[in-house]
Structure 1
Amino acid sequence: MEKQYVTNNGMEIFHYPGNHLHSFCVSLYFKAGSLYETEAENGITHFLEHVVIRNINFLMGGKLYGHLDRLGLMFNACTYKEFVQFELTGARDHIREAMDVLVKVFEPICLPAAEIKIERNRIKAEIREEDEKNSLGFFTGNIVWEGTSLARSITGQSTRLDKMGKAVLQQAHSRLLSPANGFFYVTGHAREEDLAYLKQTVERYGSGSGSDLVPRSNFAPLPRSFFRRNGRVAVKKSKDTVVRFSFDIDTRKYSQAAYMLLYDILFDCENSKIHQALSEQSGYIYSFDPGLEQYSNIGNLYFQYEVQPARLLGSTEMVMKLFYDLKQGIRDELDYVKPAYIDNVELILDHASNLNWAQAYEGHILEKGSRDPKERKREYEAVSPEEITALAREVFTCKNLVVTVKGKKSKKLEQDLENIVRKLDEE
């Protein structure tokens, strides 16, 4: 069962005991990212993620990485649109050494300008190598999240990074990566005295200027055309042929369990409908990339795949029929996806890092998760075929759908795709 502690400087520490494990996971989460950034400061959270780790290394006299290796610790960090995570994992005997490293995230940035410049150049290289702006995902995001902060990239633009010097980073660090704007989550082997040690260590730091932030609720801004897509088709000129289907969703209307089970029916098991239809039974594709971008109010369910140009229309017809058929009712589909959440519900307790992510993200970022495996099991058991059918009818309509394509651009292709997409709403 999840436990909660609150430090004297206002920071929450959540703990899910797992003393049967030999490992631990200590993570630090902050509500920050492009969701909360203005256009001028876009990318600053991701920049801070990098700079903070370099700052820790600087404070340790350049010995951070050797220190981690000697103790067998793994230090990872990642920035998302709505939060940033710092994570340390390792053997249970070294949990306090890991905590000593992780709390240094709160230390003021004291890097010389030359060190900040190196990190800025590394991020510019990351932006260049990933070439996100030429991706179908970025093209789609500018349509789905048009006019909102969510249309912007996590990494920002190279030209804006040049304007983020030491003073700007110090101010953002004090405001965003402060005890008042974050929380710890501890899983795996951690004793009560280890939690007391972490609490005492965190209390050495003030609350930071994050205490002045308006409470961050993970609510996404509503784009003007959300739920009014009319089966929009948009094509980006390219030598490759990649197609993406994106559906607007209201994340408040159904349970988290219902959304996850629908996702799995479509995408996430060997018997998933997309895998069977487009790969196993037709050979049109080998793989595909699905996703569920969720916020507290709205979200986006999507998937994309690369296909031969001659099979683009045929595969799109197949996908539309699949969605249409789901709206007519499901039969035994839940029998194939529920076991992962019911029979296997306690398996996550064997993996400190996975449990940490699930409890922290679903429970305290998205605020839709269960606090205990037994509660989670009951939530998934309660989902009925009728609820999944109702959800499919709610989601899979032209008013929610945007179809984007990278390929040979022509008016005929757009018209052909629009004609296929309209079949989704046929009675």
Structure 2
Amino acid sequence: MINKHICENGARIVHEKMPYVRSVAIGIWVKAGSAYEKEGEWGLSHFIEHMLFKGTPTRSAKMIAEQFDRMGGDINAYTSKELTCYTTTVLDNHANEAIDILADMFFNSLFDENEMKKEKTVILDEIASVEDTPDDDVDERLWAAMYPDHPIGRSIGGIKETIETFDKKMINDYMKEHYRPENIVISVAGNYNETLIDCVIKHFGTFTVLESERAQEQSPPIFQGKSISKMKDIEQAHICLAYPGLKLKDHRLHDLILLDSIIGGTMSSRLFQEIREERGLAYSVYSYYSSYLSTGSFVIYGGTSPEHLDEMVSMMDAIINNVVMNGISARELSNAKEQLKGSFLLGLESSESRMHRNGNNELILQEHKTMDEVVALIDNVKIEDVIVMAREIFNSERAVSVIAPQVEECESRN
């Protein structure tokens, strides 16, 4: 059972008891991501995430790491387009100590100038590592092709020109605007007791933030079918084809998820079976969907030798056209449903997965469907629903991102 407590300052706490485990997972969820950054702030959400690990008046960065090591736990964080999350998973007897450290990091980080200088170098190396990984880089560039005129199309990590300008004032101004109680959820799952929830309320339930000049609400992102190509001295050609998807709150989302499973989300999918297994055109070929509050996308990826690129893309188009023209089979839909239900239910057997699900649902959706309700939504999808979804998506314009040794022939694909 998921319990919810709204603190007097508006911060929300969601917690789920799992008495059969020995762990406790804790996450601080903040509605602050790259999609909310203004001009000159590109990468600032991600930079703040890094800097919260760099020390407080009572704990150095090394002390923070050592304290979690001594607890036998781990601490991590990530930034996405619409949120930032700080998480830890520890043994149940260390849960109160863990939340004390997280709160210290969250409220008392120093943002020391020397530490910021070092971390800027680390982040620039992180960005370079993405550029050195073509299957990641081609996906990163795809968002610029889909949404070239909106912050959601920018890299979460930012760019060198903006990262080098970040200072303590920019951090404080950004946190004053976004790290507000109403934008924060603390999610707890595992074998905890009520003293832990009291501790969370003590740390997060009364803090306030001075009013700041709030940013004007952004206009929604508009999908554009652009093409982006990059020539790189590599062995394979990498391509992403992207179509407009669904927003996170769209009631048809499970239609899309099942379509993804049938098209390229599993080893029995059409893309995998026809392109890899039947023709041997690619080692890695798949589809995936991304859904956010403001927009969504459906993406098909393939990596192959340059001489097979045209053939692989032709096969992708043939598979898409076949689904649009001829639909899907009852067996495909049944298999996709069982796979999705199994993935969903098996994925919730750890305290960490429950914490992530509950935190994300509270911060973004403000609702918590039971597992039985989610399974019912999956079971209720009909063949016609998936076919209608396929025709809606694949009859739209598409964006293309290519990284290859030669890109001249790929630039005009659309």
- For residues 73-124 of structure 1, give each alpha carbon's deviation from its aligned partner in whole angstroms, at most 9, with x where no partner exists: 1100011111101001011111111111121243244243222222222222
Which one of the candidate residues 380, 387, 390 is aligned to 1:389? 387
Residue aligning to 2:232? 238
**8 A contact 1:43–1:153 mirrored in 2:** yes
Which one of the candidate residues 166, 169, 180 is aligned to 1:167? 169
Residue aligning to 1:152? 154
In structure 2, relative to structure 1, the CA distance for the partners of 1:388 and 1:215 (3 Å cut) is farther
Structure 1, unmatched stretches of 5+, are 419-427
1:103 correspondence with 2:99: no
Query: What is the alpha-carbon distance in structure 1 between the residues aligned to residue 157 and residue 342 of structure 2?
Result: 39
Which one of the candidate residues 294, 299, 305 is aligned to 2:296? 299
Residue aligning to 2:284? 287
**8 A contact 2:246–2:291 mirrored in 1:** no
Residue aligning to 2:352? 353
1:266 correspondence with 2:275: no
**8 A contact 1:32–1:45 mirrored in 2:** yes
Residue aligning to 2:220? 221
Residue aligning to 1:375? 373
**8 A contact 1:179–1:207 mirrored in 2:** yes
Which one of the candidate residues 316, 321, 326 is aligned to 2:318? 321
- Match of 1:26, SS state, is strand
CA deviation after TM superposition for structure 1 residue 26, in Å = 0.5
Q: State the one-letter code of the partner of 1:371.
A: K
Residue aligning to 1:425? none
CA deviation after TM superposition for structure 1 residue 236, in Å = 3.2
Q: State the one-letter code of the partner of 1:79.
A: T
In structure 2, relative to structure 1, the CA distance for the partners of 1:413 and 1:73 (3 Å cut) is closer
Query: What is the alpha-carbon distance in structure 1 between the residues aligned to residue 44 and residue 195 of structure 2?
Result: 36
Residue aligning to 1:421? none
CA deviation after TM superposition for structure 1 residue 184, in Å = 0.8
Residue aligning to 1:194? 196
Query: What is the alpha-carbon distance in structure 2 between the residues aligned to residue 210 and residue 390 of structure 1?
Result: 47
Name whichever of 336-345 and 242-251 sits farther off: 336-345
- Match of 1:21, SS state, is coil
Residue aligning to 2:181? 179
Query: What is the alpha-carbon distance in structure 2 between the residues aligned to residue 346 and residue 244 of structure 1?
Result: 30
In structure 2, relative to structure 1, the CA distance for the partners of 1:276 and 1:289 (3 Å cut) is closer
- For residues 131-150 of structure 1, give each alpha carbon's deviation from its aligned partner in whole angstroms, at most 9, with x where no partner exists: 37983224322221111112
Could you state the TM-score of these two structures normalised by the residue count of structure 2? 0.89
In structure 2, relative to structure 1, the CA distance for the partners of 1:161 and 1:297 (3 Å cut) is closer
CA deviation after TM superposition for structure 1 residue 210, in Å = 6.9
Query: What is the alpha-carbon distance in structure 1 between the residues aligned to residue 124 and residue 138 of structure 2?
Result: 20
**8 A contact 2:145–2:400 mirrored in 1:** no
- Match of 1:246, SS state, is strand
In structure 2, relative to structure 1, the CA distance for the partners of 1:28 and 1:343 (3 Å cut) is same
- For residues 217-240 of structure 1, give each alpha carbon's deviation from its aligned partner in whole angstroms, at most 9, with x where no partner exists: xx87223xx3x64xx655433344
Name whichever of 126-135 and 154-163 sits farther off: 126-135
Q: State the one-letter code of the partner of 1:13.
A: I
**8 A contact 2:289–2:299 mirrored in 1:** yes
- For residues 279-311 of structure 1, give each alpha carbon's deviation from its aligned partner in whole angstroms, at most 9, with x where no partner exists: 111111111364322122421111322212221
Query: What is the alpha-carbon distance in structure 2 between the residues aligned to residue 413 and residue 151 of structure 1?
Result: 21
In structure 2, relative to structure 1, the CA distance for the partners of 1:22 and 1:136 (3 Å cut) is same
Alignment of 1:413-424 (within 5 A): 417=413
Query: What is the alpha-carbon distance in structure 2 between the residues aligned to residue 206 and residue 21 of structure 1?
Result: 32
CA deviation after TM superposition for structure 1 residue 349, in Å = 3.8
Name whichever of 122-131 and 298-307 sits farther off: 122-131
CA deviation after TM superposition for structure 1 residue 194, in Å = 2.1
- Match of 2:53, SS state, is helix
- Match of 1:293, SS state, is strand
Query: What is the alpha-carbon distance in structure 2 between the residues aligned to residue 83 and residue 2 of structure 1?
Result: 21
Aligned residues with identical type, % of pairs: 21
